[in-house]
Structure 1
Amino acid sequence: MTDQQDLERIAAVIETGPYSDTWESLAAYEVPRWFAEAKFGIFLHWGVYSVPAFGNEWYARHMYVEGRPEFEHHRATYGSQDEFGYADFIPSFTADAYDPDAWAQLFREAGAQFVVPVAEHHDGFAMYDSGRSRWKATAMGPQRDVLGELAESVRRQSMVFGASSHRAEHWWFMNGGTLSPSDVLNPATADFYGPAQSQAMQPNDQFLIDWFLRTIEIIDTFEPQVLWFDWWIEQPAFEPWLRKIAAYYYNQAVRWHRGVVIQYKYEAFRPGTAVYDIERGALGGIHPTVWQNDTSVSRNSWSWIEDHDYKSADEILAELVDVVSKNGVLLLNLGPKPDGTIAEPEQQLLQTIGRWLGVHGEAIYGTRPWQIAAEGPTEQRSGYFTDSSATRYTASDFRFTSRKGVEGEFLYATALDWPADGQLRVASFGSNAGLVGGAVADVTVLGHSGELAWSVDPDALHVTLPADRPSSFGVTVRVEVAPAEPGKRRTGFHL
């Protein structure tokens, strides 16, 4: 099928609706319930950039930029860039230990509900059997459809499969190699490194159509329920193509009978037409619609490198609890090694998260924001890229979630540390705060089934915590709310 025939086929799908490629039509989109309730997913940056394992996943660009540490490292380790270029790493990207079933089992044990591997990063190497490029994992390196295999394994574990596209940035990503001797302008590899144009220029029609059709190819081949985009799609040249992608994707999802999610940064999509994503970030309060924080287990790289600055499990769990309290979802990134193994520290982080969710998942999965997101003295920065250093929370810092069902209403307060004296005080649940909306009928600590002493007075809910901690991070109290009885102060010693 020619590009023109493919474009006509796509236009026919858009024309038959129910979504058309206008922002007004796309505003009818609704975030699917599965995503709003999932709360936690796994992101994967795995590709040729995992081979040099130096700096970060932008090695493909930085190795050609004079003055960058990667430039000098490359020359000292592999030789000059015109003798050993980025493409020469591909044979070492073997994936010979890649076991997608083991990956999926690990992600499921971690409590993840969806998985989003990178289909193609800025470097231009497709991790699937693309019909639009010879530079792909099925023909070079692993010589396997690593994306397709993972899709099957993830779905067998009853998780939702998604994919991310970082192709837009390839317009300029390799342009450093045009300024000094390198293989970037070699005719034999021009279809891999190109266009290598200036970032100051908008992409031309040839690039835009190819980018568009590569995106449609991912949709058609894998039927992902998450489609994640990096930031450069906010350039004006992409705008009409984004509307077409959204209309096509949403229309196909109707035919699949599945709810899907497009994730974007900054202002690439109109509010309400897709899901807003904040890279390594946080919000100051509850967002009116479901949003996402994509972050990584490491502060200094999204891909495998030798000297990761790993976050602790407590830091990641604090991010998860904070995001969920503000109507968000956490997408946590890992970076497998070039042979397909996941580093032991990253496995341990996931296993710790999974154990915590096994105890506290009731306060996370399927919950909704409460009237307020937080209480406590610790100030948290909001916006993009706020995770450069760990925030030190106290036992007086809480994040709230809620749940309504046939059993009644439950409120959850997760303290981001364990109080040294074993006494928990939640001011927002005090009767004078006027937030609970009824009497406190019962209080329990998640993970504890024994007796618990608690009381409510005008100033706070007071809870004497059990001697044995249910988990290593924080503590969650569940409050059952009953209709208020005027003038009655609740106190008790309850099971």
Structure 2
Amino acid sequence: MRKLFVLFSSALLAFSTANAQDHGLGQPYIPETDKAVLQKLDEWQDWKFGMIIHWGAYSQWGVVESWSICPEDEGWTQRNPYGIPYYDYVKKYEALSTTFNPTKFDPSKWAKAAKGAGMEYVVFTTKHHDGFCMWDTKQTDYSIAGPNSAFRNDPRKNVAKEVFSAFQKEGIHTGAYFSKPDWHSEYYWWSYFPPKDRHVNYDVNKYKDRWNNFRDFTYKQIEELMTTMGKIEILWLDGGWVRARKQDNKKENDITAAEIDTRPSKQNEDIDMAGITKMARSHQPGLIVVDRAVHGPFENYRTPEQQIPDKPLSYPWETCMTMANSWSYVPDDKYKSVNKLIHNLVDIVAKGGNYLLNVGPGPDGQLHEEAYTTMTAIGEWMKVNGDAIYGTRSVAPYKDGKVCFTRKKNGNVYAIYMLEEGEKLPAQVAFNGMKPAKGAKVTVLGAKEKISWKATATGTQLTIPAAVQQKAWQHAVAIQISAVE
């Protein structure tokens, strides 16, 4: 059975990758008013680079996380072998919770690799849509620490706590991914009715007590995370179709974007986000709440998925993207080149965003070796060029050809020249839309020599000394300008 799933995983990951989501980037943004949260958001915008980790019992099969048990006919929900009866498949899928035994789990190795790569924060999947919990929750037995789990007697069984502790020890800020829908819970997918799609499968008005039980269940699980995991700075909520809806008078902001939810619901799947947020911030003051794709006061920043916006956005945002092709573990997954990842980072930061890069540990608890070599290479670049990334904001014209721009709060501006694979730094670098101020000092990060420049009709032309050109530059070169006009 496992071999069949591994063979089918490439098709699933292709479908999953294609399911990129823009999360309503053009919808009105409602600014936060809590001063502590605003301060934390400003700090978060300085971090720039983070890691998201998708990991669960599904990693044993190397299939897309959760979605194969969703009874929708989408590319990323297909089951293998094709045509297997739905309930037979779900039974096998849920049995994975009894065999998931990541004996080589070592979050300190992940954390050290993230630190070495220059990542400033981590978001860990405490629970995905399938409902399997990666911490020692008291609300359900369906968890990595539950009585039927193969890992239940391991001292590391409280996996999320172990992950957060390891990253906090490295000085990395921590955030909890939590799925609002729970396809294992009797309070969401009630076994009395068959599930029809990703939504709750019963009438929440007719069965109000059941829905209230789900609201209480969700509240208590999030409270566990806010009170037992140390300092949590981001609550990253997924499953935007679970949301309050006006049933008879839908407004644009009440409707989940089509890219998120191809089967919009008329049900009011209200879990009381105001109450959850108030509780969470009582335990974690200044907590950033990211109710993904639900445009309103609990969407402190937006999360375009697997894509980079064409231009800067007027509110805080973060591109979440896979380092390889799949969000969760796939054997022999194909990783993006370091050059591509660094170019993505520069492009995102130049447009004012953060870059949240995903890795998927395997069933034994280890990352692909290529994940480590990739992070090491990114870290080598960041050690030289990090000043052009961290603590910066966007500055017009943001990008001109192969040059991206960032600015520091002290007025320094960086023109970051993107190198193609094997390309040498040219003798001249020209860009439009920006000119150094009179007397400005221009240097290349990682080199001592001054760079001469002259104004052109539309911008600036830099002349790069031969000694600087001959250095072994890779990926991108950050040119610091002490002041601009």
Return closer, same or farther for 1:220/1:311 CA change in 2, 3 Å cut-off: same
| Aligned alpha-carbon RMSD (Å) | 3.4
Return closer, same or farther for 1:325/1:226 CA change in 2, 3 Å cut-off: same
Corresponding residue number in structure 2 for 1:92: 99
Alignment of 1:108-257 (within 5 A): 108-139=115-146, 140-143=149-152, 144-168=157-181, 170=183, 196=195, 198-199=197-198, 204-222=211-229, 223-230=231-238, 231-236=240-245, 237-239=268-270, 241-254=272-285
Return closer, same or farther for 1:318/1:83 CA change in 2, 3 Å cut-off: closer
1:47 aligns with 2:56: yes
Q: Note if contact 2:232-2:284 (Cα within 8 Å) is conserved in structure 1.
A: no
TM-score, scaled relative to structure 1: 0.74
1:264 aligns with 2:291: yes
- Structure 2 counterpart SS, 1:104: helix
1:400 aligns with 2:408: no
Corresponding residue number in structure 2 for 1:473: 475
Among 373, 389, 401, the alignment partner of 1:364 is: 389
Displacement of 1:279 after TM fit? 1.5
Among 289, 300, 305, the alignment partner of 1:279 is: 305
Identity %: 23
Write the deviation string for residues 366-393 of structure 1: whole angstroms up to 9, x where unpaired: 11222332222xxxxxxxxxxxxxxxxx
Q: Note if contact 1:53-1:304 (Cα within 8 Å) is conserved in structure 2.
A: yes
Write the deviation string for residues 320-357 of structure 1: whole angstroms up to 9, x where unpaired: 11221222111111000010111012112211211111
Corresponding residue number in structure 1 for 2:112: 105
CA distance in 1, matches of 2:197, 2:90: 24
CA distance in 2, matches of 1:69, 1:209: 29
Return closer, same or farther for 1:94/1:229 CA change in 2, 3 Å cut-off: same
1:330 aligns with 2:355: yes
Return closer, same or farther for 1:404/1:304 CA change in 2, 3 Å cut-off: same
Displacement of 1:134 after TM fit? 0.5
Among 74, 80, 87, the alignment partner of 1:72 is: 80
Write the deviation string for residues 90-122 of structure 1: whole angstroms up to 9, x where unpaired: 343211011111111111101111111100011
Q: Note if contact 1:304-1:336 (Cα within 8 Å) is conserved in structure 2.
A: yes
Displacement of 1:479 after TM fit? 0.5
Return closer, same or farther for 1:346/1:235 CA change in 2, 3 Å cut-off: farther
Corresponding residue number in structure 1 for 2:416: 414
CA distance in 2, matches of 1:65, 1:158: 43
- Structure 2 counterpart SS, 1:454: strand
1:311 aligns with 2:310: no
Q: Note if contact 2:32-2:297 (Cα within 8 Å) is conserved in structure 1.
A: no
Corresponding residue number in structure 1 for 2:317: 291
Displacement of 1:298 after TM fit? 2.4
Read off the aligned partner of 2:368 and give its amino acid letter.
A
Q: Note if contact 1:63-1:74 (Cα within 8 Å) is conserved in structure 2.
A: no
Write the deviation string for residues 410-448 of structure 1: whole angstroms up to 9, x where unpaired: 101112225664421122224xxxxx5x32511111122
- Structure 2 counterpart SS, 1:275: coil
Displacement of 1:31 after TM fit? 4.8
Return closer, same or farther for 1:158/1:84 CA change in 2, 3 Å cut-off: same
Q: Note if contact 1:455-1:463 (Cα within 8 Å) is conserved in structure 2.
A: yes
Q: Note if contact 1:286-1:372 (Cα within 8 Å) is conserved in structure 2.
A: no
- Structure 2 counterpart SS, 1:168: coil
TM-score, scaled relative to structure 2: 0.75
Corresponding residue number in structure 2 for 1:380: none
CA distance in 2, matches of 1:264, 1:135: 24
Displacement of 1:87 after TM fit? 2.2
Question: Which has the larger displacement, 26-35 or 124-133?
Answer: 26-35
Unaligned regions of 5+ residues in structure 1, if any? 1-22, 179-183, 377-396, 431-435, 485-495
Displacement of 1:451 after TM fit? 5.0
Q: Which entry has the higher C-alpha Rg, 1 or 2?
A: 1
Displacement of 1:200 after TM fit? 5.4
Displacement of 1:84 after TM fit? 5.8
CA distance in 2, matches of 1:349, 1:298: 10
CA distance in 2, matches of 1:363, 1:234: 39
Displacement of 1:60 after TM fit? 4.4
CA distance in 1, matches of 2:434, 2:302: 31
Write the deviation string for residues 121-168 of structure 1: whole angstroms up to 9, x where unpaired: 111110001010111112313321111111111111111111100142
CA distance in 2, matches of 1:46, 1:122: 12
